């Protein structure tokens, strides 16, 4: 098929790495894929042979996978036709994340990355972080994870685990580092994600092959896709960050008992328990480290979030 993938950005954000994962799988199956974006970045560099200028898009595609309002409006302005699927990745920035009424006329199907997002779009559930008075029907297709790239490379340590910080907030990182020091856990560094206000050099210190860093650690702390990727590597993971759109917020250590709630239902957003953390409460979360959960986490992601299955679900819509 001839497929157009449209994304607001191709930075190493959750959206950008989603695009990289999705496109890589589509290309591996022999599909012809064009990618357009408003803000290019390191993901775009990795997919450079498929990235084209907006004014170079074809008039028609078999399938259009678009992700936010601004880039979707650009396609509408250029009269690009095809079967259009719009994916909602979150609701923090609803003006761009959730399809506008005008754009809905262009879209054939809306996909939500989690049941929580689906229920919010329908107006069935409410959130303090989402002011919404419309009703949009959508289909849930969970995060696609490349389970070959993100795989278990080494067993977890039984004691004195290594901890990798993947949080965005300075305060969150300071809390985590201090908690590690108190427990004599080895804090192995801060791989700070790209912020929402893009700049020319904001990816200068980014390591694209983040799976290598994940596999150096036993515990990874962050929000969103990094949690899925860490679990796919068999690591323990703590859902927590201090971000500009929701502040100090998290759900804590992922366990076999809560993984369905945290990952499938709430997309590792920190909004299941909506807990605020300080050094003392973070120490308690770190103490929940259990290397025996490694194989369970790996198999759960492989079964529920494998990119191969997720791309099949898109292609079957």
208-235 residue pLDDT tens: 999 999 999 999 999 999 999 999 999 9
pLDDT in the model for residue 46: 97
Confidence of residue 108 (pLDDT cuts 50, 70, 90): very high
Residues 6+ apart with CB under 8 A from 276: 247, 248, 249
**β partners of residue 60:** 81
The pair of structure tokens assigned to 32 is 């012809």
Closest CA to 298 of 212, 239, 215, 213: 215
Q: What is the mean pLDDT of residues 80-93?
A: 93
| Mean residue pLDDT across the chain | 95
**pTM, full prediction:** 0.96
The pair of structure tokens assigned to 73 is 């409006």
pLDDT in the model for residue 125: 87
pLDDT in the model for residue 45: 96
The rounded percent of the chain whose pLDDT value lies above 90 is 88
Q: What is the mean pLDDT of residues 143-161?
A: 97
pLDDT in the model for residue 132: 80
pLDDT > 90? residue 177: yes
Gap between the Cα atoms of 107 and 161, Å rounded = 47
Point out the least confidently predicted range of 53-57, 181-185, 209-213, 241-245: 241-245
Q: What is the mean pLDDT of residues 249-273?
A: 95
pLDDT in the model for residue 147: 98
Closest CA to 5 of 15, 148, 112, 114: 15
pLDDT > 90? residue 83: yes
Residues 6+ apart with CB under 8 A from 120: 91, 126, 127, 130, 132
Confidence of residue 200 (pLDDT cuts 50, 70, 90): confident
**Highest-confidence range of 4-13, 84-93, 119-128, 195-204, by mean pLDDT?**
4-13
For residue 126, count CB atoms less than 10 angstroms from its CB and return exposed for 0-12, middle for 13-18, buried for 19 or more.
Answer: exposed
Domains of the chain and CATH, by start: 2-141 (3.40.50.2000), 162-304 (3.40.50)
pLDDT in the model for residue 181: 98
Q: What is the mean pLDDT of residues 279-301?
A: 98
pLDDT > 90? residue 245: no
Select the more confidently predicted residue: 207 or 309.
309
pLDDT in the model for residue 201: 87
Point out the least confidently predicted range of 184-193, 195-204, 218-227, 247-256: 195-204
Q: What is the mean pLDDT of residues 149-166?
A: 97
Q: What is the mean pLDDT of residues 94-116?
A: 94
pLDDT in the model for residue 268: 96
pLDDT digits 0-9 by tens, 259-270: 999 899 999 999
Q: Which long-range contacts (CB under 8 A, 24 or more apart) does 44-52 make?
A: 44/10, 46/20, 46/208, 47/10, 47/19, 47/20, 47/23, 50/23, 51/10
Count other Cβ atoms within 10 Å, centred on residue 317: 12
Point out the least confidently predicted range of 54-63, 85-94, 224-233, 258-267: 85-94
Q: What are phi and psi of 251, to 5 degrees?
A: -115, -15
Closest CA to 124 of 109, 138, 105, 104: 138
The rounded percent of the chain whose pLDDT value lies above 70 is 100
End-to-end CA gap in the chain:
14
């Amino acid at each position: 098929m001839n497929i157009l993938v449209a994304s607001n950005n191709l930075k190493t954000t959750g959206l950008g790495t989603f695009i990289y994962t999705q496109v890589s799988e589509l290309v591996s199956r022999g599909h012809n894929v064009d990618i357009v974006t408003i803000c290019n970045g390191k993901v775009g560099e990795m997919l450079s042979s498929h990235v084209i200028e907006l004014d170079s898009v074809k008039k028609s595609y078999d399938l259009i996978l678009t992700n936010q309002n601004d880039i979707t409006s650009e396609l509408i302005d250029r009269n690009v036709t095809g079967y259009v699927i719009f994916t909602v990745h979150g609701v923090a920035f609803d003006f761009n994340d959730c399809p506008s009424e005008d754009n809905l006329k262009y879209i054939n199907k809306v996909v939500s990355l989690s049941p929580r997002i689906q229920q919010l779009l329908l107006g069935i559930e409410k959130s303090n972080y989402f002011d919404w008075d419309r009703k949009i029907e959508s289909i849930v297709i969970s995060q696609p994870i490349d389970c070959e790239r993100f795989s278990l490379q080494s067993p977890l340590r039984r004691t004195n685990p290594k901890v990798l910080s993947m949080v965005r907030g300075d305060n969150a990182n300071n809390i985590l580092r201090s908690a590690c020091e108190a427990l004599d856990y080895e804090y192995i560094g801060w791989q700070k994600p790209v912020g929402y206000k893009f700049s020319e050099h904001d990816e200068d210190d980014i390591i694209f092959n983040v799976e290598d860093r994940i596999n150096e650690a036993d515990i990874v702390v962050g929000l969103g896709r990094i949690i899925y990727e860490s679990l796919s590597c068999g690591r323990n993971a703590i859902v927590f960050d201090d971000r500009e759109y929701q502040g100090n917020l998290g759900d804590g250590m992922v366990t076999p008992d809560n993984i369905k709630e945290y990952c499938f239902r709430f997309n590792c957003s920190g909004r299941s328990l909506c807990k605020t953390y300080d050094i003392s409460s973070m120490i308690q979360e770190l103490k929940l480290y259990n290397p025996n959960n490694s194989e369970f986490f790996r198999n759960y992601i492989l079964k529920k979030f494998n990119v191969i299955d997720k791309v099949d679900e898109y292609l079957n819509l």
